[in-house]
Amino acid sequence: MLDNNFKKEEFKKSVRENVKMLYRKTIEEASQEQIFQAVSLAVKDVIIDNWLLTQKQYEKDDPKIVYYLSMEFLMGRALGNNLINLCAYNEVKEALEELGFDLNVIEDQEPDPALGNGGLGRLAACFLDSLATLGYCAYGCGIRYHYGLFKQKIENGFQVEVPDNWLKDGYPFELRRPEYAKEVKFGGYVKVVYDPATGRNNFVQEGYQSVLAIPYDMPIVGYNNKIVNTLRIWDAQAISEFQLDLFDKGDYRKAVEQENLAKNICDVLYPNDNHYAGKELRLKQQYFFISASIQAAIEKFKKSHSDLHDLPKKVTFQLNDTHPTMTVAELMRILLDEEGMTWEEAWEITTHTCAYTNHTIMAEALEKWPIELFSKLLPRIYQIIEEINRRFIQEINNKYPGNQEKVRKMAIIYDGQVKMAHLAIAGGYSVNGVARLHTEILKKQELKDFYEMYPDKFNNKTNGITQRRFLLHGNPLLADWVTDHIGDGWVTDLSQLSKLKVYADDKRAQQEFMNIKYQNKVRLAKYILEHNGIEVDPRSIFDVQVKRLHEYKRQLMNILHVMYLYNQIKEHPEMDFYPRTFIFGAKAAAGYVRAKLTIKLINAVADVVNNDKSINGKLKVVFIENYRVSNAEMIFAAADVSEQISTASKEASGTGNMKFMLNGAVTIGTMDGANVEIVEEVGEENAFIFGLSSDEVINYENHGGYDPMQYFNNDPDIRNVLMQLINGTYSNGDFELFRDIYDSLLNTKSSDRADTYFILADFKAYAEAQKRVEEAYKDEAGWAKKALLNTACSGKFTSDRTIQQYVDEIWHLDKVTIDK
Ligand code: 26W
C-alpha cells in the first residue's frame, strides 16, 4: 500500500458533507458537476495539510528558490493529476463507485485550465510537476487570465473561437490570498530628487496609475512525497477610491482610469503562438505580473535574510522565453530605488539572479517593443533599460573597437525598439535552448554575436515531459502493463523503462503491448464517433498530428499527402493499401488567416474522402475539435504513428513528439528539434526520418537557390495535388477558396519567397517515408517491436531529467524532504 492520507470511509463522508454544505443536497440529488466540486474540496483538504507541512519545512531548511516566471501555464485538469500524485487515484475511484459515481465522468466535469497556448505553457506545467516531485523549492509565477485559450468549434469546416470562461462555476483548486496583494504602478513621469544626505539623485515615479495585484495560489502536488509547491497567478483589482492617498482624494477621473486599467489587464490570454503582435495590453500584462512577482520574492527574501547581496545564493528567476524579461529592469529598480544600492551593486546581483530560456528561432516571434509605447507606460523601467543599454554598448565597443555593425546587431535599444531577447541575455547569467540542435543553431546562427561575447552563458537543456500525467494518468492500461513487467520505479525514474528492452522480441509481450494499443484506439474511436460523428476502424493505422497550427509545423504537407494518397487509391483501386486514419488536432491563432484556411482544407478533404464509398473506408480523415490537454492524454495513448514533420531548424524542440514516443507511437519526422535525440535513443530503424536537414534549410535561407516551381513542373503527382487546390475538387467547384494556399507554395511575391517552409522540396521524401511506414506496419511483429522499443527508449525525455539538469547546471537548488 502506498503512503497516502486517504481512508475510504472518511473520504466518502467528507464528499457527503461537502455536497450538503455547498449545495444543501444529498449525494443522490447532486449533479455530476456538484459532485466534482465536492470531491475536489475533499481532495484539497488533504492537499492543504501537506501544503502547510511543506511551507514549514522550507522555513526550517531555507533552501534556494527558483521562481519560474511565465506568461503561460497550460496546466490541464487538476483533479485526476492530484489524485495520481497523492497515490490515491484507485482508492478514490473505488470510493466513488460505492457512492454510485464514475471517477472518469467526475473528472470530465472539470474545465481544462488553459492558461497557455501550446509547447511553452505545457512545458512550464510539466516542470512544476517535476520540481515538486524531486523536492525542490519552486514557485510558478503567472497571470490569472479570466479567459484562457479559446475553445475551438468547427462550423462548416471552419474554426470558430468561443470564449473559455473557465472560472464561471468557481475553480476548487485555487486559493485567493488578498493579504499578499502588491501595488503595481503604470505611467506618469520620473522626478529626479537630489538627496544632500547621500549625495545621490533619487528617482521618484509621480502622476502614475496603480493597480492592485491579488495572488491566487494553486497547489502543485509532488508524487508520493508530501511536497506541495505553489503556482501563484496574479489577478488585477482596482485600488478603490478609499485607498487613494490624501493628495488624490476626490480625483474622480483618476479613480475611473485606475478602475479601467485594472479591469482588462487579466481579461484574456493572447492566443498567438510564436507570433509577436506588439499590443500595449500585452506589455501591461508583462509588467503587471513581473512587478508583483519580483516584489513578493524580494519581500520574502528579506523576511529571513539580512543582506540582499546574498540574493543570487538563494534565488533564481528563470525567464520562460522573453515574455518575463521585464524582470531584469524591475529587479534593478527595486535594488536601486527602494534599496538604495549603487548601479554596480544592483547589476552584479541582477546578472547573477536572472536566467533566460529561448524557445523559438522564428523571427516573427521576437518581442521588440516600440520606444514610445514602452517609455510612456513604464517611464522608470524604460530609463533603467536605457542605462543598461548605454553600458552594454560601451562593453561592445571595448571588445570590438570601432565595430558599428556589432552595435547595430546587438544593442538592446535600436531603431526605435526595445529588443527583449538582447536584454534577457545581457541581464542574466544563463541562456539555454531547449534541444541540442536548437541550442547549436542559437550559438551558430541566431545568437552568434552574443555567443561570441559570452560563450559561458550558453547551455542546452533538452525538454522533457511528465510521465505522471502522460502515462500513469493518460494511459492506465499501458502504465499497469509496464509496472507488471519492471515494477513501478519508472514513475519517479523513467530511465528504468530501458528494462523493457528485453521484451522487444518476446511474442507475448508484443501481443499484450499491441492489444493495449488497440484498446486505446477503441477508446479514441468512441470519442471520435461521439464528437465528430465519424466512424473509424481501430484496426486501421492511427496516424496522428496534434499540435498548434503553424505553417512551419507543416500540417499542410500532411493533408497534401492525404490528397495524393486519395488520388492513388482512386487511380489504382486494386492497389494494395493498408487502411489508415489520419487524425489532426490543432488550434490556429484567431488572426492567422492561412492557418485557419488550412483547417478548412483538412475538413474539406475529410468530407470528400470519408464519404467516398468507392474506397471502402481505406482512408479516413478526422479533425478533432478543440484539441487540449485533456483529450491529448487520450490521443497520445491511441497513436500508432507520430507526425513530427516541421521544416528542419524551425521546431525548437517539440514535446508532443516525446509524449507519443512514451506511449509507443513510432515517429515519422524530420531531423528537427528533439526528434534528433529521439532517433538517437530509439535507433534509426525504429523511426521514419526524411527530408532536408537543418543545414540544408539554413543554407537555402542564407544563399537562396530554392525553386518550388521546379517540383511543380517536373512532378505530375505534386502538380495534380496542387491543381486540386484551385480546381474546386475540395471546394464544391469554388476555385478561389484555397487559392491563398496554392499561392503560398508557388507564387513568389516581390518580398518573400514562395514555399517558405520547403513543403514541395520535402514532399516526395515524405511520401516515400509514409510508404515505409505502411510496409513496416504490415509486419505485425516488426511493428510491435518498434512500438515497444519506443516506449522502452523514452526514458531520457522525462521532465525529471530536464529539471535535474537545470538544478545541477543553472539553479543549484537544495533538495528538500519532509521530516516524517
Ligand atoms: C510573443 C508571442 C509568442 C508567444 C509564444 C512568441 C513565442 C511563443 C512561444 C515561445 C512559442 C512556443 O511555445 N515555443 C515552443 O516551445 C516549446 C517548449 O520549449 C518547444 O518544444 C517548441 O518547439 C516551441 O515551438
Cα 651 to ligand 1 centroid, rounded to whole Å: 9
Q: Is 212 inside a domain boundary? A: yes
Phi, psi (deg, nearest 5) at residue 434 = -115, 10
Angle among Cα 301, 302, 305 to the nearest 5 degrees reads 85
Are 644 and 791 found together in one domain? yes
Are 473 and 457 found together in one domain? no
Indicate whether 688 pLDDT > 90: yes
Residue 688's DSSP bridge partners are: 668
Are 319 and 218 found together in one domain? yes
Q: Whose CA is nearest to atom 17 of ligand 1?
A: 119
- Give counts: helices (H), strands (E), the chain: 32, 23
For ligand 1, what atom is nearest to the CA of residue 117? 13
Query: Could you read off the pLDDT of 294-303 as tens digits, one per residue?
Result: 999 999 999 9
Candidate from 149, 269, 274 with most ligand 1 atoms within 8 A of CB, to mutate = 274
Active-site hit among 144, 468, 596, 659 = 659
DSSP string, 122-177: HHHHHHHHHHHHHT--EEEEEE--SB-SPEEEEETTEEEEE---TTTT--TT-EE-
Residue 247 pLDDT class (50, 70, 90 cuts): low
Are 400 and 309 found together in one domain? yes
Cα 320 to ligand 1 centroid, rounded to whole Å: 9
Helix/strand/coil (H, E, C) string of 570-628?
Answer: HHCCCCCCCCEEEEEECCCCCCCHHHHHHHHHHHHHHHHHHCCHHHCCCEEEEECCCCC
Candidate from 321, 323, 441, 799 with most ligand 1 atoms within 8 A of CB, to mutate = 321
Confidence at residue 820, expressed as pLDDT on a 0 to 100 scale: 77
Q: Is 116 inside a domain boundary? A: yes
Share of the chain above pLDDT 90, in %: 95
Cα 813 to ligand 1 centroid, rounded to whole Å: 26
Q: Is 90 inside a domain boundary? A: no
Pairing between β-strand 431-433 and β-strand 458-460 as defined by DSSP bridges: parallel
641: three-class secondary structure by DSSP: strand
Are 458 and 481 found together in one domain? no
Ligand 1, residues at Cβ distance < 6 Å: 117-120, 123, 272-276, 321, 359-360, 365, 367, 434, 463, 651-655, 673
Confidence at residue 251, expressed as pLDDT on a 0 to 100 scale: 74
Q: How far is CA 145 from the centre of its chain?
A: 16
Instruction: Tell me how far apart the alpha carbons of residues 313 and 811 are, in angstroms, rounded to a whole number.
Output: 9
Catalytic residue status for 548: yes
Are 370 and 259 found together in one domain? yes
Mean pLDDT for the stretch of residues 33-61 = 98
Cα 32 to ligand 1 centroid, rounded to whole Å: 36
Indicate whether 324 pLDDT > 90: yes
Q: Is 244 inside a domain boundary? A: yes
Cα 15 to ligand 1 centroid, rounded to whole Å: 40
Residue 245 pLDDT class (50, 70, 90 cuts): low
Candidate from 360, 644, 650, 802 with most ligand 1 atoms within 8 A of CB, to mutate = 360
Cα 259 to ligand 1 centroid, rounded to whole Å: 33
Q: Is 91 inside a domain boundary? A: no
Asked if residues 817 and 226 have their Cβ atoms less than 8 Å apart, the reply is: no
Query: Could you read off the pLDDT of 634-648 as tens digits, one per residue?
Result: 999 999 999 999 999
Are 408 and 520 found together in one domain? no
Residue 748 pLDDT class (50, 70, 90 cuts): low
Residue 79 pLDDT class (50, 70, 90 cuts): very high
Cell for 521?
484506439
Greatest Cα-to-Cα distance within the chain, rounded to the nearest angstrom: 94
Indicate whether 246 pLDDT > 70: no
Q: Is 703 inside a domain boundary? A: no
82: three-class secondary structure by DSSP: helix
Instruction: Please report where in the chains the cell 479613480 appears, as a residue.
Output: 255
Query: Could you read off the pLDDT of 356-408 as tens digits, one per residue?
Result: 999 999 999 999 999 999 999 999 999 999 999 999 999 999 999 999 999 99
Q: Which domain holds residue 625?
A: 469-691+756-797
For ligand 1, what atom is nearest to the CA of residue 122? 18
Indicate whether 3 pLDDT > 50: no
Asked if residues 721 and 564 have their Cβ atoms less than 8 Å apart, the reply is: yes
Residue 2 pLDDT class (50, 70, 90 cuts): very low
Give the H or E element holding residue 274: none
Catalytic residue status for 133: no
Confidence at residue 260, expressed as pLDDT on a 0 to 100 scale: 86
Cell for 46?
488533504
For ligand 1, what atom is nearest to the CA of residue 118? 13
For the chain, how many structural domains are there in total?
2
Residue 256 pLDDT class (50, 70, 90 cuts): confident
Active-site hit among 146, 443, 473, 553 = 553
Q: Is 563 inside a domain boundary? A: yes
Are 545 and 671 found together in one domain? yes
Are 387 and 483 found together in one domain? no
For ligand 1, what atom is nearest to the CA of residue 365? 6
Q: Is 646 inside a domain boundary? A: yes
Rounded to two decimals, the ipTM of the complex is 0.97
Cα 311 to ligand 1 centroid, rounded to whole Å: 29
Query: Could you read off the pLDDT of 86-110 as tens digits, one per residue?
Result: 999 999 999 999 999 999 999 999 9
Indicate whether 438 pLDDT > 80: yes
* Choice between 513 and 750, residue whose per-residue pLDDT is larger: 513
Phi-psi domain of 62 (left: phi exceeds 0; alpha: psi -120 through 50; beta: other): left
Residue 158 pLDDT class (50, 70, 90 cuts): very high
Confidence at residue 1, expressed as pLDDT on a 0 to 100 scale: 34
Candidate from 71, 115, 120 with most ligand 1 atoms within 8 A of CB, to mutate = 120
767: CATH: 3.40.50.2000
Are 401 and 500 found together in one domain? no
Question: Edge-to-edge strands of the sheet including 368-370?
Answer: 368-370, 417-419, 413-414
Q: Whose CA is nearest to atom 12 of ligand 1?
A: 120
Residue 764 pLDDT class (50, 70, 90 cuts): very high
Cα 77 to ligand 1 centroid, rounded to whole Å: 21
Pairing between β-strand 138-143 and β-strand 65-69 as defined by DSSP bridges: parallel
Confidence at residue 253, expressed as pLDDT on a 0 to 100 scale: 77
Phi-psi domain of 91 (left: phi exceeds 0; alpha: psi -120 through 50; beta: other): alpha
Catalytic residue status for 659: yes
Are 683 and 580 found together in one domain? yes
Are 378 and 433 found together in one domain? yes
Q: Whose CA is nearest to atom 1 of ligand 1?
A: 276
Mean pLDDT for the stretch of residues 710-726 = 98
Cell for 94?
473505488
Catalytic residue status for 547: yes
Catalytic residue status for 54: no
Alpha helices of 223-279 — where are they, by DSSP H? 252-265
Instruction: Please report where in the chains the cell 512532378 appears, as a residue.
Output: 715
Confidence at residue 150, expressed as pLDDT on a 0 to 100 scale: 98
Instruction: Tell me how far apart the alpha carbons of residues 693 and 723 are, in angstroms, rounded to a whole number.
Output: 28
Indicate whether 578 pLDDT > 60: yes
Q: Which pTM was predicted?
A: 0.98
Asked if residues 708 and 760 have their Cβ atoms less than 8 Å apart, the reply is: yes
